[in-house]
Structure 1
């Protein structure tokens, strides 16, 4: 099978919905990549999920740059908050990738599936926190950033599903919360990518073309296809029934995560 075609298709699918719904592609990339890697003989069964997480995080590194630039152009990034939360984000990704590299695939898959289900429920019910407080001080922002970085690196997402609700809860306007979250996604993806590369660097038995836990042949096709299609998804967001598509996408996420669990436990 020509796996590069499958990687392009995945990049197009994840990039389209990321552009339309404003969510990171990692939620769909990780379970799909895990299934693709498991179907190839060169991939050790114990490392398919770690490679899927690392590759997805590296893909987000590139797509987050495009998102950051676009939001900055519209003046939607609160750079003061970005500067305050980034040290915690980097510390969290360090801890998260270190932990992920030492956890077996099955418990890691369970954690990922629970997180995906929570995100899917939030999408289906359109749950949003009510603005009810102000941003905490420097120590509080660092602690929140550490938590967001750790969880995001464990499930290989850009952090938007965590950062946006937190900032909205702290009375940051939704437009600024989304733009600031997009900017925070870059250091998060950078720290996560470096963490997965470092922690998988000396691991034996990984397939050829791996840079630590980042599988470069998949990354080569994922990045351009997802970045190419994302703007089209963003434009169609104003023409299609986004609420319905969001619920359908949430169902797809649950099915993919369930299939990934089945392949690891079955």
Structure 2
């Protein structure tokens, strides 16, 4: 088996797990893809070590475009996408993702790595805390549409910078304002499409000066890895979305929290 084919097989295995988690948690899968794909790219010496994380983030975003679409369709069919909020949230995340797609490519690899690790660690602490809260806790009103757009612009910007679909940040934000957990996950899946699209545009544009299509790259996006991930994640995402209807909310939050801790630790100690 050629090295390229073996790389695609590894990425297909990664995609199968990522797709299920994307549907289950609305995370797009980037939290899992970025650290693991970084290891795969290093192992196969696809590109210089100091550009591996940026390429993994860009490829993650491109794959999330497909995975989140599959997941969002499934959540929509289950009635878990709050379309009365989604347009305002999508506007914010699109703007933030487009801007950060250009900015992240200019930052040193070490800074991007630490931003990823610290961000997901903080998200994990917040999610684990919220999973232990009582269902009778005080409800918080959703902010006005303008403030909501500002908040989601920052959310979308950070999500695109670290290569995630947005669920890791949007789900805690929406549940903080008392949005039902399942609807928050459904909304995050839909918004993941927007973050992935605009973030990918930024990474493809900024990376075009560094890599060529003949080498398997569209900007910073490594196309063979993208193919491997998407060919399985598209089919497993609906299975994860279906699972949200059977798992208790507190269980989903705890799964989310533990996953984030593992990924943050991996990103820090794999240097």
TM-score greater than 0.5 by the shorter chain: yes
Indicate the SS of the match to 1:41.
coil
- Could you tell me how far 1:186 is from its partner in structure 2? 1.4
User: C-alpha distance in 2, partners of 1:253/1:92?
Assistant: 22
CA RMSD across the alignment: 3.0
User: C-alpha distance in 2, partners of 1:23/1:127?
Assistant: 20
Q: Does 1:12 align with 2:19?
A: no
Partner of 1:218: 225
Indicate the SS of the match to 2:215.
coil
Partner of 1:29: 33
* Match among 87, 94, 109 for residue 83 of structure 1: 87
* Match among 25, 45, 48 for residue 41 of structure 1: 45
When the two structures are superposed, what TM-score results if normalisation uses the length of structure 1? Answer: 0.85
- Could you tell me how far 1:257 is from its partner in structure 2? 4.1
The answer (yes or no) to whether the contact 2:74–2:241 under 8 Å persists in 1 is: no
- Could you tell me how far 1:5 is from its partner in structure 2? 1.7
When the two structures are superposed, what TM-score results if normalisation uses the length of structure 2? Answer: 0.84
- Could you tell me how far 1:231 is from its partner in structure 2? 3.4
Higher mean C-alpha displacement, 131-140 vs 190-199: 131-140
User: C-alpha distance in 2, partners of 1:235/1:176?
Assistant: 13
User: C-alpha distance in 2, partners of 1:232/1:142?
Assistant: 31
Matches within 5 A, 1:130-141: 132-141=139-148
Higher mean C-alpha displacement, 240-249 vs 194-203: 240-249
* Match among 103, 107, 111 for residue 107 of structure 1: 111
User: C-alpha distance in 1, partners of 2:107/2:92?
Assistant: 22
Q: Does 1:142 align with 2:146?
A: no
- Could you tell me how far 1:80 is from its partner in structure 2? 3.2
Gaps of 5+ in 2: none
- Could you tell me how far 1:198 is from its partner in structure 2? 1.1
User: C-alpha distance in 2, partners of 1:128/1:201?
Assistant: 47
